[in-house]
Amino acid sequence: MNIFSSLFAARALADVLARKGDYRAALKELQGFAAAYGASWELREVLKTPAVPFEQKTKVLEAVLARLKASTVTRNFLRALLANYRMVLLEKVVEGFRRVANARMGIAEVRVSSAARLSPAEEEALRAAFRKLTRQEVELEFQLDDSLLGGVRAQIDSTVYDGTVRGQLERIREELTAR
Digit-coded pLDDT (tens) for 102-142: 989 899 999 999 988 999 999 999 999 999 999 999 999 99
Domain boundary among 103, 125, 157: 103
pLDDT in tens, 2-48: 556 777 888 888 888 888 768 999 999 999 999 999 999 999 999 99
**15 and 79 within one domain:** yes
Contact between 153 and 142 (Cβ < 8 Å): no
Looking at the structure of the chain, the number of domains it has is: 2
This prediction has a pTM of: 0.77
**67 and 155 within one domain:** no
Range of the domain at 85: 3-103
Statement: residue 169 has pLDDT above 90: no
Domain boundary among 78, 103, 128: 103
Q: How far apart are the first and last CA of the chain?
A: 53
Contact between 164 and 148 (Cβ < 8 Å): yes
